[in-house]
């Protein structure tokens, strides 16, 4: 089982599509193991997006993700990191495939609705930034015995 960090960004919250996005992840078979509705501090944004701090778009990215509340979550499942990235779609919603969250629900890179970890190392790092170990809940979903071979 893998865990991945997912964040519904302020535009997703403002547009009232939090429930739709969660439904897609739940319906896929992924298990929600942590969630927090919060506004990101500057410190957390700098840490989370450390690889982008020097990029020209960073000031607008920082303003965007701090512009309102976000829903931070951890989802668990077999191959969860790659599966969630595929469900989320390409960074630019204008080019993201139909059927993906960004492809179906966004218009531009600067307002692309959702974040999801891109690799095991970034998932572990991002979960550690946003959650304490004891906030990750361990439980069995009742459909797990029919979801997996």
Q: Which is nearer to ligand IDP, 23 or 91 (CB)?
A: 91
Residue nearest to ligand IDP (CB): 91
Give the active site residue among 48, 52, 115, 130.
Answer: 115
Q: Which is nearer to ligand IDP, 103 or 110 (CB)?
A: 110
- The answer to whether 77 touches 83, Cβ cutoff 8 Å, is yes
Q: Is 48 a catalytic residue?
A: no
Task: HSE, CB side, 13 Å, CA atoms: give it for residue 56.
Answer: 0
Does the annotation list 85 as a binding residue?
Answer: yes
The backbone torsions φ and ψ at residue 126, rounded to the nearest 5 degrees and listed phi first, read -70, -40
Strand partners, 70: 38
Tell me the helix, strand and coil percentages in the chain, rounded to 5: 45, 20, 35
Does the annotation list 100 as a binding residue?
Answer: no
Shortest gap between Cβ of 90 and ligand IDP (angstroms)? 7
| Parallel/antiparallel/unpaired status of strands 70-77 and 2-8 | antiparallel
Which segments within 9-146 are labelled E, that is strand?
Answer: 31-38, 70-77, 114-116
Tell whether the torsion through CA atoms of 24, 26, 30 and 35 is positive or negative.
positive
Does the annotation list 91 as a binding residue?
Answer: yes
Does the annotation list 24 as a binding residue?
Answer: no
Shortest gap between Cβ of 87 and ligand IDP (angstroms)? 12
Residues that bind ligand IDP (CB under 6 A): 52, 57, 60-61, 91, 109-110, 112, 115, 118
Q: Which is nearer to ligand IDP, 47 or 118 (CB)?
A: 118
- The answer to whether 102 touches 56, Cβ cutoff 8 Å, is no
Shortest gap between Cβ of 3 and ligand IDP (angstroms)? 17
Annotated binding residues for ATP, as ranges? 9, 57, 85, 91, 102, 112
Annotated binding residues, as ranges? 9, 57, 85, 91, 102, 112
Q: Which residues are catalytic?
A: 115
């Amino acid at each position: 089982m893998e865990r991945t960090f997912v964040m519904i960004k302020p535009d997703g919250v403002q547009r009232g599509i939090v429930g739709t996005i969660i439904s897609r992840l739940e319906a896929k078979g992924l298990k929600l193991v942590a969630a927090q509705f919060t506004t990101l501090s500057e410190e957390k944004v700098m840490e989370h997006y450390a690889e982008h701090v020097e990029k020209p778009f960073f000031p607008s990215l920082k303003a965007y993700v701090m512009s309102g509340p976000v829903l931070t979550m951890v989802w668990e499942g077999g191959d969860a990191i790659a599966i969630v990235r595929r469900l989320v779609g390409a960074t630019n919603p204008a080019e993201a495939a139909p059927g993906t969250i960004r492809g179906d629900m966004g218009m531009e890179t600067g307002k692309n609705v959702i974040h999801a970890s891109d690799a095991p190392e970034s998932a572990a790092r991002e979960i550690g930034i946003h959650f304490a170990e004891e906030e990750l809940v361990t439980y069995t979903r009742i459909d797990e015995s029919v979801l997996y071979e």
